[in-house]
Structure 1
Amino acid sequence: MAIRELVLASNNQGKLGELKGMLEGFGIQVMAQSDFQTPEADETAATFLENALIKARNATAYSGRPALADDSGLCVDCLDGAPGVRSARYAGPDASDSDNVQRLLQALDGVPADGRQARFVCVMALLRDVNDPLPLIAQAEWQGRIIEQPRGDGGFGYDPVFLPDGEDRTAAELPAAEKNRLSHRGQALALLQRLLRSETE
């Protein structure tokens, strides 16, 4: 079945903007789950993959259309992988991006630069319908480290404190097109696009 419409299973405006930009020109009409009065799914699972499937299934159930969910987060080695799947809620259920960044910097207080390795993780799940037994899955990572003070006005989430390997600019200082190409989300979407080609031909 060719996919001509796709619902993005997120209410995060930063994430929606990035994904819409990445999917432009792919011949698919992209809509937000809010267009279908879709409530937020309860992300109760312990893994990115399980949470992505929960969100995609929720969005396709309400919209009646194929749905793409992205579950992503920041994993810091010296924090045993935290904030991980709780990245968006690290400082509490209603935490802002700034709240989460400050909580992370507090947790890393006193940790030297060579002990602040981290990676952004993204898992994407695309369900054609609510009972899809074989969803399309793509997973990617973006390696780097956490700096001591936020830098840059672009991006969202932990971007201002994430310094990618081989870069002297944080994720928030990268131009959007460059970040979309390098990031965990960009890499996962590139994998998903290859899987999608057979769906849209």
Structure 2
Amino acid sequence: MTRLLLATRNAKKLGELRRILVAEGIEGIEVIGLADVPEYPEAPETAPDFEGNAVAKARDAVAATGVPAIADDSGLAVDALNGMPGVLSARWSGRHGDDEANLDLVLAQLTDTPDARRGAAFVCAAALVHPGGRETIVRAEWRGQLTRERRGTNGFGYDPIFVPEGRTATSAELSPAEKDAHSHRGKALQALLPEIAKLAQGAAG
């Protein structure tokens, strides 16, 4: 069994990757999170893009643990806000990880924006870094529109105000399986599956 560190303390992200591996029939991988390894200093996210933040987090995780690691950086890019909050999504309100305050601020900033101009995309960059130094970086987007009020209790972050293209439900109203199949993070993790499968094959060999 090969351990694969997903550099997060978010239980929902861990569950998402585990479900994807099961759905794809990839065995021999034990997905662990930051709570499962000794604590180490985590550098602040200072890169100007999602890719830079993702690979920096993955490199830090590998350096600290010696375990292959995946890290992601994701956020909401709002058309009417010139692509912001972007890499600042988790701390848009000034307090890191305050989902309610972040949602309130985005909705307030879009109060006068007509429905036709409320387009947005969830963006995710994910990086898989091996202890030997090999790196794979992928990026995925999920286009949609922003609502004027929260709907749904599944998911986290900006999910309650994001309606994916072709849908009427917000991403917070979708089932976990639906979200895994279509979300930005789900698509990015899917893109890493060939590299994850190689890890599993190494464990079996």
**Does the TM-score normalized on the shorter chain lie above 0.5?**
yes
How many pairs are equivalent? 197
Q: Tell me how far apart the structure 1 counterparts of residues 167 and 94 of structure 2 sit (CA, whole Å).
A: 31
Instruction: Map Cα deviations across residues 125-145 of structure 1 (whole Å, 9 max, x no partner).
Output: 00011x61x301221110001
Q: For 1:162-177, what aligned pairs fall within 5 Å after superposition?
A: 162-177=162-177
Aligned to 1:34: 35
Kept after mapping to 1: 8 A contact 2:26/2:197: no
Q: Tell me how far apart the structure 2 counterparts of residues 147 and 31 of structure 1 sit (CA, whole Å).
A: 35
Kept after mapping to 2: 8 A contact 1:56/1:69: yes
1:125 is paired with a residue whose SS is strand
Aligned to 2:189: 189
Output the amino acid matched with 1:69.
A
Q: Tell me how far apart the structure 1 counterparts of residues 199 and 36 of structure 2 sit (CA, whole Å).
A: 24
The Cα shift of 1:199 comes to 4.0
Give TM-score, length-normalised by structure 2: 0.90
The Cα shift of 1:20 comes to 2.9
Instruction: Map Cα deviations across residues 152-173 of structure 1 (whole Å, 9 max, x no partner).
Output: 0101100000000000100000
Aligned to 1:11: 9
Kept after mapping to 1: 8 A contact 2:156/2:172: yes
Q: Does 188-197 or 169-178 show the bigger shift? A: 188-197
Q: Does 89-98 or 60-69 show the bigger shift? A: 89-98
Q: Tell me how far apart the structure 2 counterparts of residues 95 and 84 of structure 1 sit (CA, whole Å).
A: 14
1:181 is paired with a residue whose SS is helix
Does 2:100 correspond to 1:102? no
The Cα shift of 1:95 comes to 4.4
Point out where structure 1 has 5 or more consecutive residues left out of the alignment: none
Kept after mapping to 1: 8 A contact 2:90/2:97: yes
Output the amino acid matched with 1:97.
D
1:172 is paired with a residue whose SS is helix
The Cα shift of 1:181 comes to 0.4
Kept after mapping to 2: 8 A contact 1:73/1:83: yes
Aligned to 2:21: 23
2:151 is paired with a residue whose SS is coil
Does 2:62 correspond to 1:60? yes
Instruction: Map Cα deviations across residues 83-108 of structure 1 (whole Å, 9 max, x no partner).
Output: 10011111113441111111110111
Output the amino acid matched with 2:20.
M
Aligned to 1:85: 87
Q: Tell me how far apart the structure 1 counterparts of residues 60 and 95 of structure 2 sit (CA, whole Å).
A: 20
Alignment RMSD (CA, Å): 1.6
Output the amino acid matched with 2:82.
D
Kept after mapping to 2: 8 A contact 1:8/1:31: yes
Point out where structure 2 has 5 or more consecutive residues left out of the alignment: none
Q: Tell me how far apart the structure 2 counterparts of residues 174 and 168 of structure 1 sit (CA, whole Å).
A: 10
Q: Tell me how far apart the structure 2 counterparts of residues 9 and 102 of structure 1 sit (CA, whole Å).
A: 28
Q: Tell me how far apart the structure 1 counterparts of residues 168 and 188 of structure 2 sit (CA, whole Å).
A: 23
Aligned to 2:150: 150
Q: Tell me how far apart the structure 1 counterparts of residues 116 and 150 of structure 2 sit (CA, whole Å).
A: 18
Percent identity, aligned pairs only, is 46
